[in-house]
């Protein structure tokens, strides 16, 4: 995600950059295909199915119209894609039983759709779809961790093995998430202020250092646009 802290922020900052928009679209082709497959109830393939061409255009449209104040970008993109597919079937008269039911929400104008996407939630996805989205998010968090020189294996090694250690790490994570100045230092300077945290929470410095990779990964996930990973991980 480069210098951006979340996908939502990234979208806002690349609206006028064609190269960056194309890069984002390429990265999210699996998400776009998954959304089309969910809507049609069948497998689709790039270069073969017209619906994917429509969906790619719709995803680009979603980038251009996205408003960060109203919610998650992927939820907005999903609704925009579905809306454009419905328009496509109406114009081409190619429903052929594929669109069995058209919700009234998707028949509204774009402004009304923008008001709907914040209501999209993780629970609306099937387990298979959630799994696809988690894989996509895992690729994003993998890139974020790489900036710290951290791998998933490193995170696993520093994960708490005992309940007392887990509670300690959670206390550190809660402290960071409740103190924006500390969170900003971590995300912008790629630096975990161990001494400040240890002094404030009265936790041994070495104990925090042993959980450094786990703590950093948790902060990046909790403060980023990783709703499907968040749903999967039991933080408490």
pLDDT in tens, 93-128: 544 444 433 444 444 444 445 455 444 444 444 566
Is 141 in the same domain as 102?
Answer: no
Is 115 in the same domain as 17?
Answer: yes
Q: SS in 3 state form for 9-24? A: HHHHHHCCCHHHHHHH
Is 159 in the same domain as 77?
Answer: no
Domain total in the chain: 2
Is residue 127 situated within a structural domain?
no
Higher pLDDT pick, 3 / 69: 69
Q: What is the pLDDT of residues 65-87, one digit of tens each?
A: 998 876 788 888 988 898 888 87
Neighbours of 201 (CB within 10 A): 14
- The Cα–Cα gap between 106 and 232 comes to 29
Per-residue model confidence (pLDDT) at position 16: 87
Predicted TM-score (pTM) of this structure = 0.50
Query: Which range marks the domain in which residue 103 is found?
Result: 7-120
Per-residue model confidence (pLDDT) at position 128: 64
Is residue 47 situated within a structural domain?
yes
Helices (H), the chain: 7-14, 18-27, 29-40, 50-65, 73-92, 110-116, 127-146, 152-158, 163-177, 180-189, 194-201, 205-210, 212-223, 227-232
Which band of pLDDT confidence, cut at 50, 70 and 90, is reported for residue 14? very high
Per-residue model confidence (pLDDT) at position 140: 82
Is 147 in the same domain as 102?
Answer: no
Is 165 in the same domain as 61?
Answer: no
Among the listed ranges 100-109, 167-176, 202-211, 217-226, which one has the minimum average pLDDT value?
100-109
Nearest to 79 by CA among 46, 121, 135, 29: 121
Is 22 in the same domain as 89?
Answer: yes
Is residue 125 situated within a structural domain?
no
Nearest to 39 by CA among 85, 104, 92: 85
Q: What is the pLDDT of residues 180-201, one digit of tens each?
A: 888 888 888 889 999 999 999 9
Per-residue model confidence (pLDDT) at position 216: 93
Query: Rounded to the nearest 5°, which phi and psi values hold at 231?
Result: -65, -30
Last residue of a domain, one of 120, 150, 170: 120
Is 94 in the same domain as 142?
Answer: no
Is 104 in the same domain as 174?
Answer: no
Is residue 2 situated within a structural domain?
no
Question: Does residue 114 contact residue 76 with C-beta atoms inside 8 Å?
Answer: yes
Using CA of residue 24, residue 26, residue 28, residue 34, what is the dihedral sign?
positive
């Amino acid at each position: 995600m480069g210098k951006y802290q979340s996908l939502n922020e990234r979208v806002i900052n690349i609206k006028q950059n064609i190269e960056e928009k194309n890069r984002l679209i390429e990265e999210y082709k699996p998400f776009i295909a998954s959304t089309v497959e969910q809507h049609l109830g069948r497998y689709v393939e790039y270069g073969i199915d017209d619906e994917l061409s429509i969906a790619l255009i719709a995803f680009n449209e979603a980038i251009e119209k996205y408003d960060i104040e109203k919610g998650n970008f992927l939820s907005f993109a999903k609704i925009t894609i579905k809306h454009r597919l419905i328009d496509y079937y109406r114009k081409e008269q190619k429903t052929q039983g594929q669109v069995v039911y058209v919700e009234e929400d998707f028949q509204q104008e774009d402004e009304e759709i923008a008001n709907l996407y914040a209501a999209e939630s993780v629970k609306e996805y099937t387990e298979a779809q959630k799994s696809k989205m988690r894989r996509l998010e895992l690729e994003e968090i993998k890139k974020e961790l790489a900036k710290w020189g951290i791998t998933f294996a490193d995170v696993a090694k520093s994960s708490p093995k005992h309940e007392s250690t887990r509670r300690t790490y959670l206390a550190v994570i809660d402290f960071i998430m409740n103190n924006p100045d500390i969170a900003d230092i971590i995300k912008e300077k790629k630096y975990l202020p161990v001494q400040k945290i240890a002094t404030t929470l009265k936790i041994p410095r070495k104990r925090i250092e042993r959980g450094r990779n786990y703590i950093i990964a948790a902060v990046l996930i909790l403060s980023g646009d990783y709703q499907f990973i968040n749903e999967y991980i039991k933080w408490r």
